[in-house]
Copies of this chain bind each other. A is one copy, B any other.
Amino acid sequence: MTGDRIDMTHGGGGRATADLVAQLFRRHLGNPVLDACEDGAVITSPGDRLVLSTDGHVISPLFFPGGDIGSLAVNGTVNDLAMMGARPLYLTAGFILEEGFPLADLDRIVASMGAASRAAGVEIVAGDTKVVEQGKGDGVFITTTGLGVVPAGIAPGVTGARPGMAVLLSGTIGDHGVAVLSKRENLDFETDILSDCAALNGLVAAMLAAVPDIAVLRDPTRGGLSAALNEIAQASGVGIALNEAAIPLLPGVAAACELLGLDPLNTANEGKLVAICPADKAAALLAAMQAHPLGRDAAIIGKVTDQAGMVQMTTAFGGARMVDWLQGEQLPRIC
């Protein structure tokens, strides 16, 4: 490759594109399927029930405490598959690069994708690169699509919540949103808060091994815990009653949210999940979660009610309030 920045020829489909693929993408992501350089990746079907999921990533800034757009793009799609009960296996990645973007930054991002995909046990088997003129993009956008296989007998879904079931959360909320905002605004918090960006498929596998009939799994990403719970309540035709005191929250995140006027319930996470299961399985599920490094701080945070569509919370002071969806936009480009 000539030069140290992306130029329009890198998106032309000619020699410069081929060089970029060979010298940068394949170096970090290489595997026999990707290296075949076909128009698509040929894979052996891993089972009967498959899951496909896609997510665009436009986070700003590209590098933030605890991660970057590369690890986020891998983990985000791995987690969407895991929330369906699937074992994530294959990813594709589409890059939209802005002319002038430093190749060193792209190299760092793609290296991070390689590390994240190895950590999650998935392979990036197909990719695509396009380039847009300076001022028509913003550094790099990455759209990842994942394919996973759902083991027999496993079928969590957003419609599965039933009154009386227990609501569990795998750990502290708001870490990702506060970490990104602190970097974006150059805020200087006393404690450095890291994004929780992580692949949850290992945690989910441990949970399903303990309690195969988990009814609902959902990762509270953009929109935060409140959006995830409202989606579940709406789709399942149930209500959810939360206990604020039980919701894990780092003191530093609580302080930052207070300072910035954010509600931690609306603040994004990238390595947390909500699980809903029959009440008599909640203790076993909680134990399985707490035994996994990514579920150490897991807690039972509430229960499912019959008040369709209502997500309510008993506050730490004993009051009650509705937990509504975010109306406007709390933090744009958080993922």
Contact = CB atoms under 8 A, between A and B. Distances in A.
B52 A90 contact: yes
Given A137-B136, A327-B15, A328-B12, A52 B40 contact: yes
Contacts of A262: none
A332 to B, nearest CB: 5
A199 interface: no
Given A12-B329, A132-B138, A327-B15, A49 B44 contact: yes
B158 A94 contact: no
A71 interface: no
A9 B328 contact: yes
Contact of A12 (B54, B158, B326): B326
Contact of A133 (B43, B51, B332): B332
Contact of A80 (B40, B84, B159, B222): B40
A284 B94 CA distance: 37
Contacts of A93: 54
A168 interface: no
A54 B138 contact: no
A128 B52 contact: no
B40 A51 contact: yes
Interface in A107-166: 125-133, 135-138, 141, 143, 145-148, 150, 157-159
A330 interface: yes
Q: Interface of chain A, helix or strand or loop or mixed?
A: mixed
Identify which of A137, A219, A330 gathers the most chain B CB atoms within 10 Å of its CB.
A137
A136 B138 contact: yes
Contacts of A80: 39-40
A135 B135 contact: yes
Contacts of A132: 58, 138, 141, 333
A223 interface: yes
B38 A128 contact: no
User: How many copies of this chain sit in the oligomeric assembly?
Assistant: 2
A280 interface: no
Interface in A209-248: 218-219, 221-223, 227, 231, 235
Nearest to A131: B332
A90 B92 CA distance: 14
Interface string A35-53: 0111111111111111111
Given A47-B45, A138-B137, A330-B12, A125 B52 contact: yes
Nearest to A58: B130
Nearest to A57: B130
Contacts of A335: 130
A93 B223 CA distance: 21
A308 interface: no
Given A43-B50, A55-B128, 11 more contacts: A11-B329, A11-B332, A14-B223, A14-B227, A14-B328, A39-B53, A41-B51, A52-B92, A54-B94, A94-B94, A130-B333
A-B pairs, top 9 by smallest CB distance, nearest first, are: A40-B53, A13-B222, A13-B223, A14-B326, A143-B143, A145-B145, A54-B92, A56-B94, A94-B143
10 contacts: A11-B222, A11-B332, A11-B333, A14-B327, A36-B159, A39-B84, A40-B52, A42-B49, A58-B131, A143-B143
